Amino acid sequence: MGFFTFILLSLVALSPSFTSGEMEPKIGICYGQLGNNLPTQSKSVHLIKKLGAKRVKIYDANTKILKALKGTDIQVSVMVPNEIISNISTNQTLADEWVKTNVVPFYPKTLIRYLLVGNEILSNPPNTTWFNLVPAMRKIRWSVKKFGLKKIKVGTPLAMDALESSFPPSNGTFRSDVSEEVILPLLRFLNRTKSFFFVDVYTYFAWINQPAQINLQYALLEPTNITYTDPVSGLTYTNLLDQMLDSVIFAMEKLGYPNIRLFIAETGWPNGGDVDQIGANIYNAATFNRNVVKKFMAKPPIGTPARPGVVIPTLIFALYNENQKPGPGTERHFGLLYPNGSYVYPIDLSGKTLKSEYPPLPKPTNNEPYKGEIWCVVAKGANRTALAGALSYACSQGNGTCDPIQPGGKCYKPNNLVTHASYAFSSYWSQFRKNGGTCYFNGLAVQTAHNPSHGSCKFPSVTL
């Protein structure tokens, strides 16, 4: 072990912040609400309890959710929306009003423990909110003290893209465009207030970027004979999640703050996705999330190689598959539950159920890249009014996108909205995919490997 690592681990061992009474192993759930078919708030809280979750994070300060959580033993994280951060950063009165309206009426009967200012602010394009983040956190912290909310910590969740280097872990370094002006004052604030560095960390995204270089089982936290030894620290890793977490720890150490506690604000694995998205399946999602529970509910705590034996509070994303989340199909398939409340796969966040006690999982079929043609067609149950607008949009992009569905064209018949829109979506996607075009259309479209062509009408496709 190198001298640098010895000093780092010694500081960890001596730091009282790592052994505070509140730091019992507890797995929580992220309760997103971007769906038009989700259960009521009271039903959702019932389902959260059934999952065995002891923490929950919401992405706003939803009054109905906070009321439904009243009287439970579930610790709650509430979020200040991104769009008001800049105003709060210069206005203590506005910060006071937000806390008084959204937190005070529920505290302490609802166990609000964390106020998260914004969500992945540094993942957005450069803007003034970056530099208003910590001033806003200070204002919110002052409000928390003013109203006597003694058990509430203030923080902000950042994604792994706050780092410009994460490999090897000892080379973890924050981005140069935010290191001095944002991260350093953030760490100073978190250290002074004994709060956490909240991080969203997904081994899935790291793996899909380098599936040939990163072993899937290593990314899923499965026991393997694969290890990686950091050439600088000498620390040995047995899974990708530990590597990613330690890269954040080393990045904080480089700025002079080696002892700030980590809190995993989001982690998870998609249970489904688009045809061209590999590894997104129920088998992998269940395997990863069950391993996360096993790791972070272990007693005594396991920690990471850089912080052995340390409890890391952890939130799994997400409670539901949310059908209104934009982006690739995986974004709508991170849930532990379907919107009807049934389990996507059995899981117990309390850690009481052993992995060996779960029933067999369906074998994965998409762990290798898909090879063949893919089409983009209308999703089942798509709103007809919205579909007409999407059809118009796709056809307005030029390049003869919709010529075959005009009167007399080879794909004009059958002359109905769904068939015409499916052709338009496939035609648009095949032409503009390389320029960032997606098969989404606000949730109206879905990829398919089934050829929708008919007769002399040939639908354009994307070939992988």
Neighbour-count burial for 81-114, b at 16+ CB within 10 Å, e otherwise: ebebbbebbeeeebbbebbeebbbebbeebbbbb
Peptide bond into 414 cis (omega under 30): yes
Q: In Å, what is the CA distance from 319 to each residue of 46, 102, 155, 384, 418?
A: 12, 22, 22, 29, 32
Element spanning 265, H or E: strand 261-267
Q: Is 331 a catalytic residue?
A: no
Q: Name every residue whose Cβ is closer than 8 Å to that of residue 396 and which is 6 or more positions away in sequence.
A: none
Helix/strand/coil for 158: strand
* Selection from 233, 185, 243, 184 nearest residue 213 by Cα: 243
In whole angstroms, give the CA distance from residue 59 to residue 36.
16
Paired strand residues for 218:
none
- Judge whether 303 and 11 are in contact, CB under 8 Å: no
Q: Is 266 a catalytic residue?
A: yes
Element spanning 128, H or E: none
Q: How buried is 210 (Cβ within 10 angstroms: 0-12 exposed, 13-18 middle, 19+ buried)?
A: exposed
Q: Name every residue whose Cβ is closer than 8 Å to that of residue 209 and which is 6 or more positions away in sequence.
A: none
* Selection from 437, 289, 320, 433 nearest residue 373 by Cα: 433
Q: In Å, what is the CA distance from 30 to each residue of 167, 320, 414, 441?
A: 28, 9, 44, 26
Tokens of 130: 């970056």
- Which of these is catalytic: 22, 164, 253, 266? 266
- Which of these is catalytic: 22, 83, 97, 120? 120
Maximal C-alpha separation, the chain: 79
Paired strand residues for 163:
174
Q: Catalytic site residues?
A: 120, 266
